[in-house]
Each structure stands twice: as C-alpha cells, then as structure tokens.
Structure 1
C-alpha cells in the first residue's frame, strides 16, 4: 500500500479529489498507536468562491492560514469548542481548497479507537468527523502536518469504486452558506460496514 504523493493532492478539482479519496486508507500514528481505516465519507470545500468554506471571499486568519498551504497538508480545526475536524488541503499554494474527511471504516488499531471513544459499536466508532478525530487521536496539535509523513497519511491499495458504490448529497450543517449549501459536494461509500449520519434535509 503506497502513500498518496503530493501530485494527488495538488490536482485542481477539489470535488474530484473528495470523490477519489473514498476507498483510500487514512492512518494516524499518535502516542505510539497506529489507527486507521477506509475513507468512507468526504466533503469538498472550494475555497474563496464557496460560501461554506472558511476561506470564502479570500478570508485569511491564523486558523485558516493552513488552507493556503500547497496540497498535501492537514487542516485540523476546533469546532463549537468541543470537536476536532480533520481536512486535507488540496490544490496549489494560495488556493485554499480542502476536503473534510467525515468518516472511515475502521480496519487498524480498533482496540485503541474503542478505548479513545469509550464505545464498542464499530458502525458508530468513526462515522462522523469529530468521532473520527477522537478515535484516531487527532487534535489541533496535528494541524499543518505533511500528509506524506509518519504521523498522518493516506494510502492507496488500488481500490477503484464504481459510480454505483458512491452516494452524492449536499453537505451537512452548513445552512449559513445559502445556495452553496445545496451543492452536491458530499460523497459516501455505500458499504455494509459504514453508517452515515443522515442529513436533516
């Protein structure tokens, strides 16, 4: 299984990258523990033109500055004072595209993830972006990390998902984004071992 190269992350189409990440393997090695699994849900955020993006209209703050790195770095932020969320920075330097990894199918370090989450229902273990970060030990400390490194990385075992294995919907929890909230930028791997959170819409 090979780590994804920078060339994967630096492609121009963030929506296509979000789809292509389904079926890839996301790993963390934190606190000496290896955890990870198959990426089963993603959302694309298209930078300065996307009202749902933290970088909409060219916004640059200490938090969002990570999004302006070249593709292949992590963007981890804290939401509602409670949850960490992991994103993949894509495209070229100063084009702040990102993909939120919303969920995985656990395959590695499951016992560790169960201890971190204090839950043993595998379908509920990593089926949301905050759950995923808690299970994999990801915090703001892991922001702006190189995704070809040894702490966080994504790897490819050659699995190509057919269109019928992928569900496409609007993104979740971004009602503030107006018409952009309706964009079909959320991708879900239809798999018996993954239970996506339902949209309220």
Structure 2
C-alpha cells in the first residue's frame, strides 16, 4: 500500500514538473515574440508589438513633418510632404512681400493727401482705391496660404497614422482592377461603346 502511495506521489511530482517546464518554455517563447515551426521551411510569426505602432508614427510626424512617413518606410511620400511645405512657404512669402510693398504705397498716397478713389500720385499708375483692393487681396491670400500650411501639417499627420494602421493588412496579390474598352450590339439600340471595369479576386 505504501509503495503505491509513494509511486502515485512520485508520478504526481514528475507530471507537475513536466507541466511547469512546458509552461516556462511557453512563457519564454511568448517573450521572444516569435514562433518557429520546424519543417522544410521556417516560419516566423511576429506579435503585434513588432508591427508598426500608429501612435509612434503620429508622434514622429507631429515632432517633425515627414518623420512618420520615414517610420512607415514610405519614402516616396517625402517629396510630396516637403514639396507641399516648400510651395506653401514660397506662396506665403510671395503674398507677404506683396502685402508689405503695396501697403507702403497705399500709406504713401494717404500721407501725401491722395485719399480720393480716383486720385493718382505723380509718377504712379494706380489709384488709392486700387491699392486698397490689392492690399486686401494680398493679405487674404497670405492668410489663406497659412491656413493651407496648417492643413498640410494635419494631412501628413493623418497620413502617417492611417498608413501605420494599414500595415497590419495584407492584400491579396491576385487582387486586380482593370478597365477595357467595350463594344456591344443590341437589337433595340444598335451598337453601343463604353468601358468595362473588371475586378479579379
């Protein structure tokens, strides 16, 4: 009887030790973020932690425009981001210079007494009213370009965030969308021409 109890106790301890060892091995495998399946090919499955983090992409893009696109490895978007900022910066500078220039001419006309809408200063071709309109136009365009610059900043933030989210999805390489010219004959209408859109899954 004692032999059976000792034998049962030993079997329980050995099974508990084996279960503990398997649990420890599983925990080690989870910490390494990978699972290796031994066969002819080795398959590495990465966990979510190894994928692109949308918050990190958003933070990088907020700190420096274009850095979120670099984090997502979409380098072809960098010329679009920086080209947009450079073009908008050039437009803001252009309208700011025009605004300062025409405002100085408007103030010069007003200081010299050419306050009427049809008054033209000697050696000038524009009236005071024209200068007022041009100053308003340049100021409005400059402010609009500043708003577009803010919109460009927000757009690259959204692009980096959404692109990091979309990295999780794999597209089917067989997915294909194409269009072809088509000609059909109908007894009622006759010949009709058009375009066929073909989706392949």
- TM-score, normalised to structure 2, is 0.19
- Greater Rg, structure 1 or structure 2? 2
Greater strand fraction, Structure 1 or Structure 2: 1
Q: Which has the higher contact order (CA 8 A, sep 6+)?
A: 1
Q: Which has a greater percent of helix?
A: 2
TM-score by length of 1: 0.19
